[in-house]
Structure formats: structure tokens, C-alpha cells
Amino acid sequence: MHGTLKGKHLVSLRDWSNDEINLALDTAKDLKRRHYMDLPTPILQYKTIALMFFEASTRTRNSMEMGIAQLGGHANYLDTSTMQISHGEVARDTGVILSSFGHGLACRNCNWGEGNAYISEMAKYASRPVMNLQCDLYHPMQGLADLMTIQEKCGPTKGLKVSIIWAFATSHKKPISVPLTQALLFSRYGMEVTLAHPPGFELPDWVIEEAKKNAWANGGSFRVIDSMEEAFKDADIVIPKNWGSWSGKGPEPNINDFKQWKCTLALMQTASNKVYYMHALPADRGNEVEDAVIDGPQSIVYQEAENRLHTAKAVMALTL
């Protein structure tokens, strides 16, 4: 494992082996312990990273900014609307220049059909590690935090019943990157994964095929169903979260036809007696989930959110 992550991009967790992911999680857990003990961790002293955001952010921006500060380095926040990108500068030029200024480059670009291509283009030409802070297809930082949280709460992941569930929301059209990342990652860790959604909210076919292959290779399972009730039944982890319709396989579904796809206390009572509720946040309270669930004892959303800090620190400590 020595040296395998130094200088490595994180555009998708598909590009990292399970051993590399495990190293990142072990590092995150160690940094979390040190954080709680107020022990200094000057691992990245005097190092800098540029953080480019095409969209708004709370957890991602602050986990990166505070994370590198706690490691002794500094982050430059860049609103892309104030950069030369807004005047047409291409990803290649931005990647070459910003990576030559510092020690790393991270970007969030969720524009459908553009985000992953943009970040991948920067990574192709950048001289320093490029990190994907969420694109139209992947959210690797969220995936690492989710897996860390599941391990903390449940221990070994093999055989865990985890349900990734579409939920109704009235806010902006959310990208598929969170459920897509979870489907591909959890199936690599021996979990029994269920993906549930109403018609019109399918993930790409290649995702389903790859998730099934991952599950078969790692002693788990993967299925796709169209019943929220079935997805909750006996589940150990439920992740009800909205995502938009991006498949292009048919006419745009009317989201208001699926208001019943909501995480309720009644549904939680049909799951395992030790079930945990997770969400990447922000949650659309009252639509995606009842307050009684997200604020209740089965909710681990704040632990999940906090782990965004520790996993971000781990990725930067290992790659920069």
C-alpha cells in the first residue's frame, strides 16, 4: 500500500481499490480520534488546495476548508461565477494553472452531462491530485462518509440489509450522484443492497449491471424494486432521499404522483428493530421524511455529516 495514494486523483471511488478505500477509512477514524482529543495534526503544513464550486455547498465546502486548516494547510474557495470560467476558459487550462499554484485541486460541478466530464478533463491535465466534490454522476466524499458511518454503527458490513430509496421532495432537481455512488460502493462491501424508486427515476443501466457484479464478487446482493414498503421491510439501514429523473427513457414523470414516497415512523417500524436512518442532507423535511424520524433516536444523519470532515481530511492527508 505504500505510496499508492500519494498524488492520486479521486474522481470516482470506482478508481480506488477496496484496499485504498479501507486505508482512507482507517486514516479518517484515526484523525477523528485525534480531533476529539484535541491533538494537533500538522500533516499538510503549508500546503494549499483550490476549491472550485459551480453550486452552493455547506458540508462539502466546510469539511474541506476546516479539514485542511486542521491539517496545517490552507484552502482557497473559488466561486466559479467570478472566475475566467464564466468567460469561457476551458477545464484543461484551469486545471493546469491552478494545480501549478498549489498542492491540490477540488471541484463541485453537478451540471447534467457536463460535471464529470469537466472534472475528468481537469484531472487529465493537472499536475496535482484532483478531487471530485460532487458531479452529475459521483459523490465520492459522501460515499466514504456513509461507509464510515455504517461501519461505526454496525461493525462488519457483510450481510447488512441496506435500502437506497427514492423519496418525494419539492426542492431543486437533485443529481443522481449520491444514490449512484452508494449503489456502486455498498455492493463492494458484501451488503444486501436494495434500490427502490417509482417509475421514471431509474439509475443508468450500467450502474445496475456493475452493482450486481460487485455484489456477486463480494458475497452480497443487489436488487431493484418499485415498492417503498418492501424496501423498508427488515432493513438495517434506510437511506430515503430524492433524486431527479435523468434517465431519458421516457417522458418526464410528474413528481407529484409520488408524494406517498415518504419516510415515516410507521415505515421505520417495519424495518429491523435496530434500523438506522441516513441522509446526505439537506433533507426536505415534511416531504422526504417526517421530523419524528430525522430527529428521532434511529437517525444518524449528524454523525454521517460530521464524518464528511474526517473522510475529507483523510483523502487530503493521503493524496496531497
Residue tagged 485541486 (cell numbers): 105
Total-model pTM: 0.97
- What is the 8-class DSSP label of residue 155? S
pLDDT (0 to 100) of residue 176: 97
Give average pLDDT by consecutive 10-residue segment, the chain, 320 residues.
Answer: 82 97 97 98 97 96 98 97 95 97 98 96 98 98 98 98 97 89 98 97 96 98 98 98 85 91 98 97 96 98 98 98
- Homologous superfamily of domain range 141-305: Aspartate/ornithine carbamoyltransferase (3.40.50.1370)
What type of residue sits at position 214? N
- What is the 8-class DSSP label of residue 204? P
Note whether 13-139+308-319 and 141-305 share their fold.
yes
Q: Where are the domains of the chain?
A: 13-139+308-319, 141-305
- What is the 8-class DSSP label of residue 287? T
Q: What's the N-to-C CA distance of the chain in angstroms?
A: 16
Fold classification of 13-139+308-319 is: Rossmann fold (3.40.50)
Mention every residue, 6+ apart, whose C-beta is less than 8 A from residue 79. 53
**Spatial contact of 193 and 236, defined as CB atoms under 8 Å apart:** no
- The residues that bridge with 192 in the sheet, in sequence order, are 161, 221
pLDDT (0 to 100) of residue 173: 75
230 half-sphere exposure, CB direction, 13 A CA radius? 11
CA distance 73 to 10: 19
CA dihedral 63, 67, 69, 73 (to 10 degrees): -120
Phi/psi class of residue 159: alpha, beta or left (left: φ > 0; alpha: ψ in -120 to 50)? Answer: left
What type of residue sits at position 207? V
What type of residue sits at position 148? M
